[in-house]
Amino acid sequence: MRLITVFVLAAQALLVASPPVDAAAKKSNTKTLKSQEAAYRCRDANGRHTIGQSIPAECMEADIEVLDVNGRVVRIIPGREALAEIEAQKAAHAAMVAAANRDKTLLATYLSVEDIERLRDQRLELLVQQGRVTDQYVANLKERESRLSLDVQRFRPYSSKNNAPPLPDHIAEDIVNTVNGLQVYQQELAKNMLEQQELRGAFDADIARFKELKGLK
């Protein structure tokens, strides 16, 4: 029993003392890679090379070639233009995927052009009704603003009479609220008209694409 115990303790000590294989291998690979990198080189717009044991300042915008002790390229660090091109390629790919998904959804959602037009008209009608209500608010506030403009002529500083009373606070407050409300509803009305225009454009694009996918004229 004592001999077995000695063997077990020795094995446990060996396991504790030895680092994990993956960690050791990773550390060794990193050290080997670093030891291979002896210099950095880039090419300027005129085709001339700049080289250094650390990355030269002139190379910050360009692709950088990492050289080993024998002058061979072991890896390349992309410059700003290369990175921009990579990002552009990613964006183009994402746009292609989005377009494909949109086509798939379009075909799965509608059976005919009439279905698309029906939904367009329903959504447009909601916006049109909202616009009518907002337009009525605007008209009411403009009428109120006109009445208040006439009313304030009886008070200083708008009246030319020397004995005219000062403008009451509640009328001044009413004017401010009316003007502010008018601006808000006018902005809402402009927003509503823009939404109607964008909605028509989006549905027109869907109809055109649906016809193209279905081979319709």
Cα–Cα distance measured from residue 114 to residue 120, given in angstroms and rounded to the nearest whole number:
10
On average, the pLDDT of the chain sits at 84
Q: Give the CB-side neighbour count of residue 109, counting CA atoms within 13 A.
A: 16
- Can you name the residues that pair with 43 across neighbouring β-strands? 49
DSSP assignments along 117-141, one per residue: HHHHHHHHHHHHHHHHHHHHHHHHH
Name the fold adopted by 113-214: Helix Hairpins (1.10.287)
* DSSP secondary structure letter of residue 165: P
What's the pLDDT band for 13 if we cut at 50, 70, 90? very low
Sequence-separated (6 or more) residues with CB below 8 Å from residue 203: 116, 117, 119, 120
73-84 per-position pLDDT tens digit: 888 888 888 888
pLDDT at 108: 95
Q: What integer is the mean pLDDT of 84-102?
A: 93
Peptide bond into 157 cis (omega under 30): yes
pLDDT at 10: 44
Give the start-to-end residue ranges of the domains of the chain. Answer: 34-77, 80-109, 113-214
pLDDT at 36: 63
29-43 per-position pLDDT tens digit: 444 545 567 788 888
Sequence-separated (6 or more) residues with CB below 8 Å from residue 144: 178
Cα–Cα distance measured from residue 120 to residue 202, given in angstroms and rounded to the nearest whole number:
9
Helices (H), the chain: 2-17, 21-36, 80-109, 113-151, 169-214
- Looking at the predicted structure, is the pLDDT value of residue 114 above 90? yes
